[in-house]
A and B are shown apart, each in its own frame.
Chain A
Amino acid sequence: MTTMSMREVDGRQLAPADVDEFRAYVRAWLPGGLPRAAEATSEHEPIEQQLARHRVLQRKLWDAGLAGILYPVEYGGLGLTREHQRVFLQEADGFETPTALSVTHGILIATLLDFGSEEQKRRYIPGSLRDGDVWVQLLSEPGAGSDMAGALTRAVRDGESYVINGSKIWTTFGHVADFGMSLCRTNPDVPKHRGLSMIIVPLQEGPHLTVNRIRLADGNDDHFCEEFFEDVVVPVENLIGQENDGWSAALRLLFHERNMMAASSYHDSRSAETVEDGPDPIVTLAQRLGVTDDPAVRQLVGEALTLKGLELFTIDRVSRAMARGALPDTGASILRLMHGEVAMRRSEISVEVSGPSGVVWDPAEDETSVGRGWLGARIRTIGGGTNEAQRNVISERILGLPREPSPDKDRPFSEVRHNR
């Protein structure tokens, strides 16, 4: 490794731009820079702890001139290409990367880069790439799930401020987030898509803002949150893009979310799901239970192995088709639907193969219990838009079949039926 090829920008040393030199630099840096993935703590580590560790990893990337590969240098990134990102992720296979920040960098900050003002980009992007500020999307509401444009949270302009009232739900890691991007209704007297605005809301709890954890059916409360806004005041410069054009920003956000699912987003972390190593957990389960001689069990295990195998090939095919334009970017709905179906079925198979051990277990096995995992897996067919919403997208946007009738499309939002 030579420092000759390092680039100096605003006093920062950035990784080389030449792809081969970039690879050599990454390869030389990684062993001393990031921990081995095997040394990482279990997946049941609380998010607060994981985030604290990942902020340190993110800072290490920043100090090494490796943070924000695809982000422009003026906003703290490296200004490099997807080829560099691919090289980094290849080399980082086997190392722990700051996955707790994947959504922030892959979806939220990416949307800010596309729609934010110059001032917003200079203020927020470097902070997240350097210190690991966590951002979350505030889209779903108790009264508007897959129908996101039915948002009821109001933002009322008051001089140089917005006053926000309402609630958001299904916010992943909302309790540890620094900033939220909130879809708010700024004009209820126009059709629903045309009266929304996207506004940056600092998520520090206080008398006007409450963040509650949601306890899911499996008993876990460490993932999703709901937020209540009571006269939260933010300055108008927190508006992203134009007032009442928030739907464009929301669509862009969903675009980045889909890209992330198709493993082609802006983040510097390597998702655990793209790494295939070790025996399949369902094979290990059948061995542990001593049921591998049962032909019916073997058929179920074979089905689970088939589903896992086809998922990787389908991601590969659909991502490539989207990249070359053979499928629209809504092609990611195919991947989301597949993931829901595959995860659900594999979880069902685990429970079925387990028999009584799936529903009754020793206290020591609590964290790894198949039964608890099954209740948790139910979210897979719902989160990110229900399987049914995905099927509508696939049939209408990809197959070109007629759209579902939408009586709320061209009428003022205040006049159409919606949840309270």
Chain B
Amino acid sequence: MPFQPTSEQRGFCSTFDEFLSQRVPPSVLRELTMDGPSLDRDLWRQLAELGWTTLLVPEEKGGGSLTDQPLVDLALVAEVSGRRLAPGPFIPANVVTTALAVTPGNGVDEVLSGVIEGSLVPAWALAEGRGTFTPRDIRTSAARTGAGFVLDGTKRFVEAAPDADVLLVAARQGDGLAHFLVRRDQEGVAVQPQHGLEPSRSYGTVTLDAVEVSAEMRVGPATEGEQELQRLLDIAVALQSAESLGLMNQVWDFTLEWVQNRVAFGRVIGSYQALKHRLADHKLWLEASEGLVEGLVRALANGDADGSRIAAITKAHIGDTAVNLVSDSVQLHGGIGVTWEHDLHLYLRRATANRAMYGSPIEHREHLCVLAGI
């Protein structure tokens, strides 16, 4: 576990851990895979009631955190989300609530309460084209009209889009970027569900055809929308990295147990140097992952100037490391590791999906070059 959690943080996390273990154990996750992705709204509401999406929202807006560093609280919850492969849009929901929380206006507040209660499912419509999460690649436009804005464009790989009631859409407005809150049932909004590797998270393509939004539904600060988008992206990367860390920790725990009990050729397989050395390497990159998640979350919580650089380093490392660790754990398990019955493929699905979403390691390495001034 990253950080050194307080007893209150531990208690909060173990509530989720127990709830998820009972409510959606791996056997249920496997069924979801067979049935195709769709959100269990009852489960989502229960998670919301336990505080799944409230930590980044201030008390006066209906939220509340455990400590004076809400992002640390939430990163610990994200670790549990990874360990238990929690279904549903944990990351976009928290991005949406934090974006709405800094925006004044009754209409926005109403949506925010709905999301916090779990009655409204949110989605964050960001990626376009072949699936780049880089802000400068956004083409969706928001043209100003008398009463507000008109949105046009196509968003792809939008998590939870088929289940969403509200969409937070990133669009180009004038010279800058801004976010707009759109209802799923609004005229001109069409969602085409997509199929995915990760069964417990749904994805879709969102088409916006002359969608009219009122001025009040423009979310975030009046200017510097690009910085706000980067802030939200950094938070998404932090939560996703903490989640990938959690799933790595879980796979690591049962893999270490496996190699100490499984016998081949008269010895436990964990006594073979060929395996021991690989496990030592995984331990190294796992410690690096923990260090990065802690460093990133602290930097973002403190508003450090190099938060985005640390976010890029973190994703560039953890994106690949999580896939490598889980994939090699399949190898260390041998035949049982590639069966439907074993949980490993569920973790491999989540690790692989997380690597691609919110910027692949390739995109983040490129971003590091930009931040280094080249």
Contacts and interface: CB of A to CB of B under 8 A. Distances in A.
Interface of A: 279-280, 283, 286-287, 292, 295, 298-299, 301-303, 305-306, 309-310, 313-318, 324, 334, 337-338, 341, 388, 390-392, 394-396, 398-402, 404
Interface in B270-286: 270-271, 273, 276-277, 279-281, 283-284
A310 B313 contact: yes
Interface residues of B, number: 39
A316 B295 contact: yes
B271 A394 contact: no
B316 A401 contact: no
B30 to A, nearest CB: 30
Contacts of B291: 310, 313-318
A279 B295 contact: no
Contacts of B4: 324
Interface in B218-245: none
Contact of A303 (B288, B294, B365): B365
Interface stretch (B66-74, B111-119, B126-134, B366-374): B366-374
Contacts of B259: 401
Nearest to A321: B287
Nearest to B296: A313
B366 A298 contact: yes
Given A279-B372, A303-B316, A401 B271 contact: yes
Contacts of B270: 401-402
Given A316-B295, A337-B284, A338-B288, A310 B368 contact: no
A400 B280 CA distance: 11
B372 A313 contact: no
Contacts of B281: 337, 391
B288 A310 contact: yes
Contact of A283 (B279, B295, B372): B372
Given A292-B369, A337-B284, A306 B316 contact: yes
A305 B365 CA distance: 8
Given A283-B374, A310-B292, A310-B317, 20 more contacts: A279-B372, A283-B369, A292-B374, A299-B366, A302-B367, A302-B368, A302-B369, A305-B372, A313-B292, A313-B295, A314-B292, A317-B287, A317-B291, A317-B294, A334-B283, A338-B288, A391-B277, A392-B280, A395-B280, A395-B283
A318 B273 CA distance: 24
- The interface residues of chain B, by DSSP majority, are classed as helix
Interface string B248-281: 0000000010011000000110110100110111
B260 to A, nearest CB: 7
Contact of B276 (A313, A314, A337, A392): A392
A395 B365 contact: no
B364 interface: yes
B313 A309 contact: yes
Interface in B306-323: 309-310, 312-313, 316-317
Contacts of B267: 402
A305 B310 CA distance: 10
- The interface residues of chain A, by DSSP majority, are classed as helix
A301 B369 contact: yes
A287 B374 CA distance: 8
Shortest 8 CB-CB contacts between residues of A and residues of B? A302-B365, A317-B291, A313-B291, A395-B276, A309-B313, A402-B271, A391-B280, A394-B280
Given A338-B288, A394-B284, A309 B369 contact: no
B309 to A, nearest CB: 7
A314 B287 contact: yes
Interface string B338-358: 000000000000000000000
Contacts of B372: 279-280, 283, 301, 305
Contacts of B288: 310, 313-314, 338
Contacts of A318: 287, 291
23 contacts: A280-B372, A286-B374, A292-B369, A299-B366, A302-B368, A303-B316, A303-B365, A309-B310, A310-B292, A317-B290, A318-B287, A324-B4, A334-B283, A337-B280, A337-B284, A338-B288, A392-B277, A392-B280, A394-B283, A398-B283, A399-B256, A401-B271, A402-B268
Contacts of B294: 313, 317
Given A313-B292, A395-B279, A306 B317 contact: yes
B365 A306 contact: yes
A335 to B, nearest CB: 9
Interface in B170-190: none
A269 B277 CA distance: 34
A292 B4 CA distance: 41
B362 to A, nearest CB: 7
A203 B247 CA distance: 54
A395 B313 contact: no
Contact of B368 (A305, A314, A401): A305
Contacts of A310: 288, 291-292, 313, 317
B129 to A, nearest CB: 17
Contacts of A313: 288, 291-292, 294-295
A396 B372 CA distance: 40
A312 to B, nearest CB: 8
B368 A399 contact: no
Contacts of A400: 260
